[in-house]
Amino acid sequence: MISQEMKRELINALIDQKEIFGDELLTTFSENDYEPLYENDIQPEPAENNVNEDKINYSSSKLFAEEFENARSLDELNRMIADCTKCSLGQTRTKFVFGTGNPNAELMLIGEAPGAEEDKQGIPFVGRAGKLLNDILKAINFEREDVYIANILKCRPPNNRDPLPSERETCIPYLNKQIELINPKIILCLGRIAANALLNKNESLANLRNGDYEYKGIKLMATYHPAALLRNPHWKRGCWEDVKKVRKLYDELTA
């Protein structure tokens, strides 16, 4: 009989396979089988939090979109959307995770979705993954305050599951408005899911890391998510190569 420890190791290996190659090998597992990626992310979500997204009313989305698209600053945008309940995640979150950093940043980092610590603090990329991201930025001579950091989703999916297509569709207009207001020269996507969501693709991370992409006229690059690097330190060399390219392109575009 397979022990719990062996089971966790097997599931983590499949998660890593999916992160790099995009293989959908995890579909036979329950989301409760996933090894937590963030600190203090052990307890499963209460059953009553599993809201059927088909029952959510989207009827006012057009009017809401027209309102937030008129925002003239990030602060104004945040005020307009912070109470959003357009998808079921609005009913299960602890805090809305808008984004943080320099509102005039030339480099914008975009992840997948908030985790447990982000949900508690309302700030993207905190905890162990956030500390590692800070170290990665310092390695290429950036401070966290120099860049802007956000996610595809503004609310945490239960148990850190992958964002649903409807959740991405609902939330990405907010991110697009953030990008418009910040107007960075480079977007660095952290992980396969973030890059595919922005590019409307279904590529492996290996292909995304080697691709030449633009998003709304902005150079877009992809690398590993910090949480993946915590599970697999041997990927740090590849991440280092990626972020050196980001720094080189940044220097060229801002010279």
Q: What is the pLDDT of residue 11?
A: 65
Convert the pLDDT of each residue in 166-212 to its tens digit.
Answer: 999 999 999 999 999 999 999 999 999 999 999 999 999 999 999 99
Look at the pTM and tell me if it is higher than 0.85: no
What residues in the chain have per-residue pLDDT under 70?
A: 1-66
Are 198 and 204 within 8 A, CB to CB? no
Q: What is the pLDDT of residue 76?
A: 97
Q: What is the pLDDT of residue 132?
A: 97
Q: How far is CA 137 from each of CA 10, 42, 134, 179, 188, rounded to the nearest angstrom?
A: 31, 28, 5, 20, 11
Taken in order 42, 47, 49, 55, is the CA torsion positive or negative? positive
Q: What is the pLDDT of residue 222?
A: 98
Q: What is the pLDDT of residue 18?
A: 54
Are 160 and 35 within 8 A, CB to CB? no
- DSSP, collapsed to helix, strand or coil, labels residue 96 as coil
Q: What is the pLDDT of residue 40?
A: 37
User: Token pair 């964002």 is at which residue?
Assistant: 163
- Report the C-alpha gap between 219 and 198 in whole angstroms: 12
Residue-wise DSSP of 51-69: --GGG---TTHHHHHHHHT
